[in-house]
Homo-oligomer: A and B are copies of this chain.
Amino acid sequence: MRVTDDAGVKTSGKAVPAKSAAPAPRPREADATRRRILDAAKAEFARLGLAGARVDAIALRAKANKRMIYHYFGSKEGLYVAILDDAYGAIRAAEQQLKLDDLAPEDAIRKLVTFTWNYFIRNPEFLTLVNTENLYRARYLKKSTVIRELHTPLIEMVRSILERGVAAGTFRPGLDPVQVNLTIAAVGYHYLNNRFTGSIIYDRDLNAREALDERLAFNIETILRLICRD
């Protein structure tokens, strides 16, 4: 960015036209444009689903020309797959930041349940994107080659915590890390995903701050009771 700091003296003469009536200063930032399209698309797909999202609306929100979407992603579906890759990549990356091996097994579980919960709260688009993809029975995820490679180091993390807990005598032996991890996701996912209909059905504001805090505490309790020795 600071390369032509001294107003293009060194490089070429035509740098910085500076004419106020010029047709339009058209900056060319391929990566930035691509990124803006991805961000806009994530928001639109998350808000309206694949069928409900509009390519024109994505272009408008991204402040990009619609043609650029087809240039970078080929089609609406190609863009959707890119968003999926991006969303799964982001959560896997966040999981890698967790340093659970340093913690006592019980604390590691508490931290993991809390992380999962907070991730869903801070990235609500993840929930609706996953829903959308399941509506299509994972048709698009199957196409993505990136995701299979990410697989789930998380499962190995959970396995490791469970083993340490069993060794320490605090956890029950024989628990399947996949079932445990699915349950950790479940108690957060279902509540947060269905909090809108839930608030009506149960006649209670499930979105209220206290309700959210209460649910996280309840979820931690649920998971610890599932895992810990009697």
Interface check A142, CB cutoff 8 A: yes
The answer, yes or no, to whether A52 is at the interface (CB within 8 Å) is yes
- Least CB distance from A157 to B in Å reads 14
**A70 interface residue, CB < 8 Å from B?**
no
State the oligomeric state as a number of copies. 2
Closest to A203 in B: B151
A179 contacts B by Cβ under 8 Å = yes
- Size of the A side of the interface (Cβ < 8 Å), in residues, is 54
Contact partners of A199 in chain B: CB under 8 A:
138
Query: Which of B49, B134, B142, B178 is within 8 Å of A52, CB to CB?
Result: B49
A223 to chain B, nearest CB (A): 9
Q: In the assembly, what is the distance between CA of A34 and CA of B142, in Å? A: 38
Determine whether the beta carbon of B128 is less than 8 Å from that of A200.
no
Whether B52 lies near A200 (C-beta < 8 A) is no
- Smallest CB separation, A165 vs chain B (Å): 15
Stretch in A8-16, A107-115, A180-188 with 4+ CB within 8 Å of B:
A180-188
Contacts of A202 in B (CB 8 A): 152, 155, 178, 182
A207's closest neighbor in chain B, by CB?
A: B137
From A21-29, A59-67, A74-82, A190-198, the one touching the partner chain is: A190-198
Q: If A52-B51, A201-B152, A218-B179 touch, does A193 touch B225 (CB 8 Å cutoff)?
A: no
- Interface residues of chain A, those whose CB is within 8 Å of chain B, are 47-52, 88, 128, 130-135, 137-138, 141-142, 147-148, 151-152, 155, 176, 178-179, 182-183, 185-187, 189-191, 193-204, 214-215, 218, 221-222, 225-226, 230
- Residue pairs across A and B with Cβ atoms less than 8 A apart, 5 shown, are A47-B135, A128-B135, A137-B196, A152-B201, A182-B202
